[in-house]
Amino acid sequence: MNIRNIAIIAHVDHGKTTLVDKILHATKVFRDNQDTGELIMDSNDLERERGITIFSKNAAVVYNDVKINVIDTPGHADFGGEVERVLKMADGVILLVDAYEGPMPQTRFVLQKALQLNLKPIVVINKVDKPNCRPDEVHDSVFDLFFNLDATEEQLDFPTYYGSGKNGWFNDSLTEIDNIFPLLDGIIKHVPPPKVAEGPLQMQLTSLDYSSFLGRIAIGKVSRGAIKENQQVALMQADGTVRKLKVKELYVFEGMGKKKVTEVIAGDLCAVVGVEDFNIGDTLADAENPEALPVISVDEPTMNMLFSVNNSPFFGKDGKFVTSRHLRDRLMKETEKNLALRVTDSDDGDSLMVYGRGILHLGILIETMRREGYELTVGQPQVITKEINGKKCEPYEILVVDVPQEFASKVIDLVTRRKGEMLIMETKGEMQHLEFEIPSRGLIGLRTQMLTATTGEAVMAHRFNEYKPWKGSIPGRNNGVLISKNTAKTTGYSIDKLQDRGTFFVDPAEEVYAGQIIAENIKPGDLVVNATEPKKLTNHRASGTDDATRMAPKTLMTLEECMEYIQFDECIEVTPNYIRMRKVILDEEERKKQSKSMNAQMA
């Protein structure tokens, strides 16, 4: 059978998963009366809640007797490691671009990776039904982007399709039709069939799946020879070890699922059962003449966080997995499939240092662990510095902000205060398009401030650029916090009396402990307060003193917002039911001693 392997790449929210939905429907993967819902490929709970793709997934459809393997990829810069490895399975890419926004930071990042692998690009300009869209200008800016990324003559001659994923049409012109068949014909015409080399079996493992019945399942593309059921193969690992194994079962992708087969020939994607203890990037080769493929290289992480066991007074009340052994096993298991993640031991036996691509990358890992029943404490995210030519260097990112014109000056002020430098300022319709180069440290906590300053109108995106010399100190949070004095339940009476001191993160009758952060102070500096004092009851009635308490609802903070909010002496307690911010040292006297000794050292 004819085969085409294609990955769909784009910036976050440009419509990749919706396009995959339309391809599945157009090729009759589902019955006509079947209710499939939207964003079928986003099957994970977190993906559905947040409306973003986190894990790449495979589907396969048959159109005009050609099998098309479709790989849906994440669009967020923090999950670039996921994109880098799955592009190895593809022979072509559909680059999806919003007809209004045009190429964005992540578009550049994923396209660069695809061009380096010599994949054939097809450009799809989506959402041409949006008001203020500018498909011709966007087409020109995509061409400029290809040119800037040193695309070859052949890659610069890319075919372009226009359409609307939401309305279910794509065409090679701006003429609206009622199907996406021109795009499917374009995939068959422009994407080359897999290049197949002569020789014995070679297959690189680029992804993994897990089944409680079958165990770990290795996924990859057979690049040479063929793989058969019950065949003896050699597993070649990155460290040079070679192990002989037997293939128990083989599956190819069909629709949204998998179909069991006895043999898979070169060029097709398949899932192999029976390969234990493999890592992503390993090669399955012929048992007699094993030859390894080059190991997948992934960009380095730029941020780290300290993961520790939960040592708060509420330890063990919520979670199932609470010990350092549980934490270590879970993080080590994550590094097997999450290529952009690194885990190292810290000086303290109860803590591990975890390195990742950004706050969202680490936040998704913590959120996943929390839902699995883990309890842990995480520290403030720190950027990873390097020494280059004897100078201390830090990661810099390109930050792109689209904002209504009246807020542009506020955005520029916010970014320049955090050591950002403006590169581009241009008008896009009614919006102002701003591009900055900013140290990664400056991005921590910026999103919340930006949305507040622009009444939620700013659209922010950023991608790693390079390491450059350290920019000096960046101002952090301006306000201090209110810290609970004792361990008990908060009372409405106390919170009401303290409301003019700050904005609360807790409600009345909520359990708090000494050292927990319960509110943001309206001034700089921290303050220890008693929010658990009940109202004194007497048998006298007094006129005017029994006013009803009037309280503003508590400020709800997501995990990522907490990660951006905390300072170096604070941490976050994460349990299946609660996310609490607290001081690293819970005891007030100990905190005072620590700050005195630090001040003495600095003096």
Residue 492 token pair: 């409405």
- Is the sign of the CA dihedral 13, 14, 20, 23 positive or negative? positive
Residue 529's identity, in one-letter code, is V
Task: Determine the 3-state secondary structure of 53 from DSSP.
Answer: coil
Compute the distance between CA of residue 53 and CA of residue 190 in angstroms, rounded to an integer. 26
- Is the sign of the CA dihedral 80, 85, 88, 90 positive or negative? negative
What residue has token string 């700013």?
458
Q: Which helix (H) or strand (E) holds 440?
A: helix 440-443
Is 128 annotated among the ligand-binding residues?
yes
Is 17 annotated among the ligand-binding residues?
yes
Strand partners, 209: 217
Is 391 annotated among the ligand-binding residues?
no
Q: Are 527 and 501 within 8 A, CB to CB?
A: yes
Compute the distance between CA of residue 284 and CA of residue 140 in angstroms, rounded to an integer. 43
Is 373 annotated among the ligand-binding residues?
no
Percentage helix, strand, coil for the chain under 3-state DSSP, each rounded to 5: 25, 35, 40
Compute the distance between CA of residue 109 and CA of residue 180 in angstroms, rounded to an integer. 27
Compute the distance between CA of residue 330 and CA of residue 324 in angstroms, rounded to an integer. 10
Is 126 annotated among the ligand-binding residues?
yes
Is 14 annotated among the ligand-binding residues?
yes
Residue 315 token pair: 């330890």
Strand partners, 161: 124
Is 33 annotated among the ligand-binding residues?
no
The span from the first CA to the last CA of the chain, in angstroms, equals 75
Residue 507 per-residue DSSP state = -
SS3 readout for 244-294: EEECCEEEEEEECEEEEECEEECCCEEEEECCCCCCCCCEEEECCCCCCCC
Residue 399 token pair: 């930050």
Task: Determine the 3-state secondary structure of 326 from DSSP.
Answer: helix
Is 492 annotated among the ligand-binding residues?
no
Q: Which helix (H) or strand (E) holds 26?
A: helix 16-26
Is 507 annotated among the ligand-binding residues?
no
Residue 258 token pair: 């998998």
Is 160 annotated among the ligand-binding residues?
no
Cβ neighbours of residue 169 under 8 Å, at least 6 residues apart? 163, 176, 177, 178, 179, 180
**Annotated binding-site ranges for GTP:** 13-18, 126-129
**Annotated binding-site ranges:** 13-18, 126-129
